[in-house]
Amino acid sequence: MRRRTLLRLAAATALASPAGRLLAQEGGVLPSDHPLQTAWESWKAAFLLPAGRIVDGPQQNASHSEGQGYGAALAAIFGDEAALRRIVDWTETNLARRDDNLLSWRWLPGVPLAVPDENNATDGDLFYGWGLALAAQRFGNADLAKRATEIARAIALHCVRPHPDGSERLVLLPGATGFETEEGLVLNPSYYMPRAMTELAAFSGQERLARCAQDGALWIGGLGLAPDWVLVTSTGDLPAKGLSAHSGYDAMRVPLFLLWSGLTANPALRRFIEVQREAEPGTGTPVVFDRDTGALLERSADPGFASVPALADCALSGRPGAAIPPFDARQPYYPATLHLMTLVAQVEGFSACAPI
């Protein structure tokens, strides 16, 4: 094995080393009497239908692989085998339509063609595969283990590409098709979840996915304030035509996933906190920024968006206690899910940052 590969493997292993790594802790299951179980029950009541589909109300009441993946991972983390089974059954019936083991990205209710676009969304596949791996280990389910391994292989084969600059670096495409252009590759930094990538790679033996996680974390660290979308070319990064170049609602996941991965030294996390602190006081959480100027463009009153900078500020400042709002399932699916994930990340990796 080449020395560079050994170094990449060592770095990928380091991503999984902080306290609270799920695969190292019997699936990372929170005890049934843990206080966060109440938030999980509220989240399920608000967004998980009995059939197993997770509803994104503002998006035409659609269900998508992202939501199903988030739900599968959370169900495994909370040790909820019944919810996990419902989510998997619905997902496999309605989104597992492709012949490459990836999921179609969206399902729409009440229309003749429920899945109008067969393309996948790699972040949904990633979280779904990770959730199945966690659940397979926790519940001793060989079928889930097999499916998780299939998904990991498919991501590594269809959604991981060499960097356009000709280096040995690897990048993660947002989908198997539609993101490779003559100019370069269109990427979404928030589709990277280094911890999920590293743990799924270890579970499935997909070293290519672990390499991509390590390369991705380094690339994100060099972006400064992470954009929603970016065009990666052989000579540098550029705005992606027709897509948001701001640091906005998509990019809010970047600091959360860095924190959850234990990557508190990543420069992108530091830059995120800087612009949050520099924003003028106002009602709601700063969410959308102009990357070039750092100017605040949009706020949100949803408490889920407030939870991410609250945990990041505590983790980087070293001061005990984080101003994470109480979980509120009345907010829409997306901020509610970020909220619950932030609370999980706090419990697993930042005991000094308990909500205050």
C-beta separation of 209 from 153 below 8 A:
no
Residue 111 lies in a domain: yes
Residue 318 lies in a domain: no
Nearest to 208 by CA among 173, 253, 234: 173
pLDDT at 28: 61
Residue 39 lies in a domain: yes
Q: Which run of H or E residues covers position 297?
A: strand 296-300
Task: Give residue 29's pLDDT band: very low, low, confident or very high (50, 70, 90).
Answer: confident
C-alpha to C-alpha distances, 155 to 231, 272, 296, nearest whole angstrom: 20, 28, 35
pLDDT at 353: 98
Residue 49 lies in a domain: yes
Lowest mean pLDDT among 5-19, 266-280, 335-349: 5-19
Query: Is pLDDT of 5 > 60?
Result: no
Which are the contacts of 237, defined by CB distance < 8 A and separation ≥ 6? 223, 230, 231
Query: Is pLDDT of 3 > 50?
Result: no
Write out pLDDT tens, residues 278-288: 999 999 999 99
pTM over 0.85: yes
Write out pLDDT tens, residues 117-156: 999 999 999 999 999 999 999 999 999 999 999 999 999 9
Position with higher pLDDT, 24 vs 35: 35
Task: Give residue 207's pLDDT band: very low, low, confident or very high (50, 70, 90).
Answer: very high
d(CA 246, CA 91): 32
Domain containing 104 equals 26-158
Residue 145 lies in a domain: yes
Report CA torsion sign: 177, 183, 184, 185: negative
Residue 123 lies in a domain: yes
**How many independent structural domains does the chain possess?**
1
Residue 308 lies in a domain: no
* Mean pLDDT for the stretch of residues 54-65: 98
Query: In this structure, how many other beta carbons lie within 10 angstroms of the beta carbon of residue 3?
Result: 7
- CATH number where 94 lies: 1.50.10.10
Nearest to 154 by CA among 163, 146, 165: 146
Write out pLDDT tens, residues 295-329: 999 999 999 999 999 999 999 999 999 999 999 99
Residue 349 lies in a domain: no
